[in-house]
Amino acid sequence: MLKIGELEFCDKPVFLAPMEDVTDPSFRYMCKKFGADLMFTEFISSDGLIRDAKKSVKKLDIFDYERPVGIQIYGHIPEAMQQASLMINENANPDLLDINYGCPVKKIANRGAGSGMMRNLPLMKEITELVVKTSKFPVTAKTRLGWDSDSLNVEEVALLLQDCGIQALTIHGRTRTQMYKGEADWTLIGKVKENQNIKIPIIGNGDITDAQNAYDKFNKYGVDAIMIGRAAIGKPWIFAEVKHFLNTGKHLPGPGVIERVEYAKEHLQKSLEYKEDKKGIYEMRRHFALYFKAIPDFKETRLKLLTAQTSEEILEILNFIQDKFGQYDSNFFENLNEHNK
């Protein structure tokens, strides 16, 4: 059984990765519905939080049905990171606090935050020690293999962060310069896990796209948990599929079009409950595009779905999808997945 602080998880737990503009409460609601064992907010700028920026403060919203849930922060100024931690202590009640040392986005990494911190380990140490000292919640971190292929320093980083007091580490199997391109390399993730000096849980992340892949990663690399990111967008039921396969060795049939429409409606409803109407609709588009991916002769309908301006229009289109494409059941998508392997 995996423990992070006082949190206890089942054997081989499956977590939802923090993703900017994706892991808002409506998406987390859907992932929890399908069994995600731990979820994270979108990452929050420490600078934005201490300036009381509306967008940053809004991201602190978490709900009891989501638990356990973590809040993730990033930044490169020690005092700001410490102050952000204090604000979270006072204004939110997460189950843990995660530090982002993995974001590869240029405007963040090039100023030394996110994965940029992997080029400044003294600063990483200072920030981590301050956050651990300040936080009343367990502190974890998420990082990458290194800045580039010539500086794969994740083992050194893991030992440093452990010494600073973090209670679990997530490793994304790419360097910063790779961004999200190429194939994730889990070899170094496994090497960190095998290091006898590493006592904290190691969570593997990168290219977990289906149940078999998740099973293979657990068995080959011995990680304590896996974290799913982009593969869950438009497919929140991936958590149910992975957990079912891990527990039974059998594949759980995915939803057909009729079920996908119902999930899309539920997701839309939650998005509109949490956000302004236009913003809720706009931010659902990336999900809609993937809920119905690979349906034949769908281009015209997809365009209408992704350009609809009101919830009434969207619901009308979703009902149309259910009526016109409802014959595409779980077997269709299962055969499509097999064909694409």
Secondary structure of 88-112 as H, E, C letters: HHHHCCCCEEEEEECCCCHHHHCCC
Judge residue 250's burial from the number of C-beta atoms within 10 Å of its C-beta, 0-12 exposed, 13-18 middle, 19 or more buried: exposed
Tokens 């609809």 map to which residue?
308
Q: CA 280 → CA 28, 201, 225, distances in Å?
A: 14, 36, 31
pLDDT value for 275 = 82
**Same structural domain for residues 282 and 301?**
yes
203/56 same-domain check:
yes
How far is residue 74's CA from residue 174's CA, in Å, rounded to a whole number? 19
- Beta-bridge mates of residue 142: 100, 170
79 and 170 in a common domain = yes
The three-class DSSP label of residue 310 is: coil
**188-206 residue pLDDT tens:** 999 999 999 999 999 999 9
Pairwise CA distance, residues 88 & 49, whole Å: 9
Distance, CA of 168 to CA of 243 (rounded, Å): 21
Specify the number of domains making up the chain.
2
Q: Three-state DSSP class for 327?
A: coil
pLDDT of amino acid 210: 94
CATH code at 182? Answer: 3.20.20.70
Whether 132 is covered by a domain: the verdict is: yes
C-alpha–C-alpha distance, residues 56 and 44, integer Å:
6
Q: Which residue of the set 10, 31, 103, 164 is catalytic? A: 103
E strand map for the chain: 2-4, 7-9, 14-16, 39-40, 44-45, 69-74, 96-101, 139-144, 169-172, 202-205, 225-228
331 in a domain, yes or no? no
Assess whether 31 carries a catalytic annotation: no
Within a domain: 340: no
Helix (H, G, I), strand (E, B) or coil at 141: strand
What are the counts of helices (DSSP H) followed by strands (DSSP E) for the chain? 15, 11
Residues 183, 296 within the same domain = no
Q: What pLDDT is attached to residue 178?
A: 86
Q: Is residue 332 part of a domain?
A: no
112 and 207 housed in the same domain: yes
What is the predicted pLDDT for the residue at 52?
80
pTM: 0.93
Q: Supply the pLDDT for residue 220.
A: 97
Per-residue buried b or exposed e for 107-128, using 16+ beta carbons within 10 Å of the residue's own CB:
ebbeebbbbbbbbeeebbbebb
- Helix (H/G/I), strand (E/B), else coil: 228: strand
Give the residue numbers spanning the domain of 115.
2-248
Torsion of CA 40, 43, 49, 51, to 10 degrees: -160
| 86 and 124 inside one domain | yes
Cis omega (within 30 of 0) for bond into 68: yes
296/153 same-domain check: no
168 lies in the same domain as 288: no
Residue 9: CB atoms within 10 Å: 18
214 & 66 share domain: yes
Pair (17, 109) in one structural domain: yes
Q: How far apart are CA 151 and CA 284, in angstroms?
A: 38
| Dist CA 293 CA 289 (whole Å) | 6
Per-residue pLDDT reduced to its tens digit, 148-179: 888 899 999 999 999 999 999 999 999 998 88
Q: What is the pLDDT of residue 106?
A: 87
Query: With a cut of 70, which residues of the chain have pLDDT below it?
Result: 336-341
